[in-house]
Structure 1
C-alpha cells in the first residue's frame, strides 16, 4: 500500500473535510452560543486548532498529487448531514458536541490509520493529537450538572443521538466507498460484519467519554 492508494486518499479526504467543517461549526457555536468571552475564546481555540489540522491534510494531499477538493467531495453530503442533524441549541449541547463529536471522529480515523503506511499513520496521529483541547468541555459540563442535575437526562440523550447519527453516516460511507471500508477493517475484514465490530468499539469509547462528562450512557 502506498501513501496515494485509493483508500488512503479517501481517509485523508474525509478527515480533511471533517476538520474543515469542524472549524466552521465550532467558530459559529463560539460566536452564537458561548455565554462569556472566556468561553468564546476557549471554543475559538478549539476551532483554530481544527483549521490548522485541515491545512496539514490539504497540503499532504497536494504533495501526493491529489486535488484536495476532489478528495473531500465524496464526503461532503454525509458530513454536512451529520452537522445539520446535530446542530446544538444551547451552550451545553455545543460543549458536548465539541467533546463527544471530536472524540468519535478521532476514533474512526485512528481505526483506519492502523492499516495505512507508517507516514500516513503518523500524520493522522499528528492531526488528532490536539483533541485534548476539547476537553475543556468536561469541566464546564460537570459544573453545569452540579448546578442543575436536571440537565443530565437531556444532555445524555443529546449525546446518544449525536453519536448514533455519526455511526449511521459512517456505515453509509463505508458501504459506498469500498476502498475506505477495506482500510477500516484491514486485511482480515472480508465483509461488513467486521465494520460492525469496529463500530461497537467506537461505541464503547463513547461510553467512556460519557462517564468523563458525568453522564450515564443509555442502553
Structure 2
C-alpha cells in the first residue's frame, strides 16, 4: 500500500494512541487560535491608524471563529476540548512571552512569520491523520486575509524607511528559532504525538531522513514568507 493510501485509510477509532494524538493536535491548534485572537486584539492597540486597528481586529475575529469546529471534532473523539487544551497553555504562552513585539511592525511580522511556521508544522503532522481531521487542521491553519494585509503594511513601511527592514529581518530570524523550538518541545513532550510521527505497524511514520526533510520544508516556507515581506531570511 502506498504511503498516501495508508494515511487515508486511518480511522478515528484506529487505536487509543491514535485518538490521543489526534485530540492533542486538535487541542494545540485550538489553543493556538485562541491565543492568536488575544494577541492580535492586543496588537491592534498599537495600530497607527483607525483603519489598521479595525483591519487587525477583523483578522483576530477570524482566528477565533475557527475554534468551534476544532472543539466539535475533539468531542467527536470523546474528549473535553478545554481539558485537552490545558497541557498546551503554558508552552504557547511562554512562546508569546519570549516573542512579545516591541511595536506595530514586529507584531505584524510575528502574526505572519511566527504563526505561519507553527501552522506549517501542524499541517505536516496532519498528513498522518484520518481525512476528515486532516482537512479540518489544514483549513484551520490556512493563511487568510491577514497575509495580504501584513505584506502590504510591512512592505510599505520598509519602502518609507529602509532601515526598518534590517531590524525586522533580525526579528524574523528570532521568531523562526523560537517557533521551531516550540514545535519540537510540543512534539517531544506529548508521547502520543511522538508515536504518531514515529509510525507503527498499521501506519507510516517519519524516519530520521524524512524528519530532516520536513524541517527543511519548514525552513524553506519561512524563507518564502520573509521574501514576501521584503526581508532577508
Question: Normalising to structure 2: TM-score of the pair?
Answer: 0.86
Q: Which residue of 1 aligns with 2:218?
A: 202
Q: Could you tell me which residue of structure 2 aligns to residue 180 of structure 1?
A: 193
Matched ranges for 1:71-86 at <5 A: 71-86=84-99
Counterpart-to-counterpart distance in 2, 1:130 and 1:149? 27
Q: Which runs of 5+ in 2 are unaligned?
A: 1-9, 14-18
What secondary structure, in the 3-state scheme, does the structure 2 residue paired with 1:3 have?
Answer: coil
Question: 2: distance between equivalents of 1:41 and 1:63?
Answer: 35
Q: d(CA) in 1 for partners of 2:192 and 2:107?
A: 33
Q: Which runs of 5+ in 1 are unaligned?
A: none
| Post-superposition offset of 1:68 | 0.6
Quote how far apart the aligned CAs of 1:121 are: 1.1
- After superposing on structure 2, the runs of 4+ consecutive aligned residues of structure 1 that deviate more than 3 Å are 182-186, 193-197
Q: Among 163, 186, 206, which residue is 1:189 paired with?
A: 206
CA offset at residue 185 of structure 1?
Answer: 5.7
Is the CA contact (8 Å cut-off) linking 1:101 and 1:162 kept in structure 2?
Answer: yes
The equivalent position to 1:26 in structure 2, one of 31, 40, 47, is 40
Distance 1:185 1:38, change over 3 A: farther
**For 2:144 and 2:52, how far apart are their aligned partners in 1?**
17
- Paired with 1:104 and 1:72, the residues of 2 have a C-alpha distance of 20
**2 CA distance for matches of 1:96 and 1:129?**
17
Aligned equivalents of 2:128 and 2:218: distance in 1?
A: 17
Counterparts in 2 of 1:75 and 1:195: CA distance versus 1, 3 Å: farther
**Structure 1 residues 42-191: aligned runs within 5 Å:** 42-184=55-197, 187-190=204-207
Report the 3-state secondary structure (helix = DSSP H, G, I; strand = E; otherwise coil) of the residue aligned with 1:124: helix
Task: Check if 1:3 corresponds to 2:12.
Answer: yes
The 3 A distance-change label for structure 1 pair 49 and 74 is: same
Query: Structure 1 residue 199: deviation in Å?
Result: 2.2
Greater CA deviation, 4-13 or 143-152? 4-13
- Contact persistence 1:104–1:202 (CA under 8 A): yes
1:190 offset after TM fit, Å? 4.3
**RMSD after superposition:** 1.7
TM-score norm. by structure 1 comes to 0.91
Contact 1:185 1:195 in 2 (8 A): no
- When structure 1 is superposed on structure 2, of 131-140 and 153-162 the one drifting more is 131-140
Q: Would the alpha carbon gap of residues 126 and 188 (structure 1) be closer, same or farther in structure 2, given more than 3 Å must change?
A: closer
